[in-house]
Amino acid sequence: MNHKLEKYCSLFLYRYLPLTLLLLFIMVPFYWTLNTSLKLEGDITKMPIEYWPAPATFDNFIMSWNNVGFSLFFRNSMFIALSTVLIVLVLSILAGYAISRFSFKGKNAFMLLLLCTQFVPGAMLLIPLFMQFKAMQLTGTHLGLIITYSAFQLPFNAILMSGFIRGIPEALEEAAEVDGCNRLQAIFHVILPILIPGLVATSVFTFIGAWNEFLFALMFITKKSLFTLPVGLSYMQGEFDINYGALAAGSVIALVPVVILFSYVQKYLVQGLGAGAVKG
């Protein structure tokens, strides 16, 4: 009996208590943002603080979507993120394939290039890249952002992709070549179908990265109609009179796609980050 009690005590102390505390710390900001976004404007600042939105309302969502411009920001972010995904996907398949299937002169240099660019700091590129895009007349356009995000997202995803491709037996391609496929056809018909889970994971990581980026979007885009979601959120906080309900609703709007996609791929994350980022 005593032994059983001791076991429960240790389980509580070593597992459930710390787990609950950490999960609380992680979940509370999500809850509080949702809670705030569902409150009537007057209820947000009412004292004492209400821990449950009663009555709940969708006014803030309607307000931020229609009046503040989040429907437009959402579309801009979606277009930029999806274009980035497309570019990164194609380039990282090609680069990943080259790394895992060929040995060639300069391969080590290319690997080093990929690794080093993981350290290239965003804020440090702000000024030179802005000048470069200005000369190319790409500031104030979404294309400039798409190019920037693709360059930043490519190294990690190319390394990740090479890992996925290495996991596919080369014999499969050889068999296809015996059957009369050339290399490109073999890649297309044999490798890509097997690679689909890896492609999904890569796409989602790229999407999240492009969806979240802020500094370049802030620097490059000045027209409000071209804003992305993070810039829209920051713009609202720069205003003299902040509408906190609409701000919280805007955050929830920006969160939704990321949360949905992330819940779908988070199981790949443990393998992916473990293999890709850390071991190089």
Partner 1 sequence: MNALNNKKWWPYLFIAPSVILLVGFLFYPIANVFILSLQDYNPTKPYANGFTGFDNFTQIFTGDKIFYSTLVISLKWVLSEVVLQLLLGLILALLLNQTFRFRGLARAAAFLPWAISGVITATMWSIMFNEHFGVINDLLKRIGFISQNMAWTANPSTAFGSIVTAELWRGIPFFAITLLAAMQNIPGELYESCKVDGGGRWRSFFSITLPFLKDTIILTTLLRAVWEFNNVDLIFTMTGGGPANMTMTLPMYIANQAIKSNNYGYGSALTVIGVILLTIFAALYLKFSGFGKEE
Of 118-177, binders to partner 1 (CB under 8 A) are: 118-132, 147-148, 150-152, 154-155, 158
d(CA 25, CA 21): 6
Q: Say if CB 62 and CB 252 are below 8 A apart.
A: no
At 87, which amino acid appears? I
Only one of the segments 60-68, 99-107, 166-174, 193-201 lies at the binding site for partner 1 (rule: CB under 8 A); that segment is 99-107
At 225, which amino acid appears? S
Among 1, 2, 48, 55, binds partner 1 (CB under 8 A): 48
Radius of gyration in angstroms for the set of CA atoms belonging to the chain, rounded to a whole number: 24
d(CA 77, CA 213): 10
Least Cβ distance, residue 159 to partner 1 (angstroms):
11
Among 40, 78, 200, 258, binds partner 1 (CB under 8 A): 258
Residue 5 sits in the site that holds partner 1 (CB under 8 A): no
Only one of the segments 53-61, 93-101, 168-176, 192-200 lies at the binding site for partner 1 (rule: CB under 8 A); that segment is 93-101
Least Cβ distance, residue 65 to partner 1 (angstroms):
16
> Could you tell me the two tokens for 145?
């952002």
Site map (CB under 8 A) of partner 1, residues 59-88, x = contact: ------------------------------
- CB atoms under 10 Å from CB of 148, counted, come to 25
Least Cβ distance, residue 74 to partner 1 (angstroms):
13
Residue 222 sits in the site that holds partner 1 (CB under 8 A): no
Task: Give the number of C-alpha atoms closer than 13 A to the C-alpha of residue 100, restricted to the C-beta side.
Answer: 22
The rounded Cα 251 to chain-centroid distance in angstroms is 15
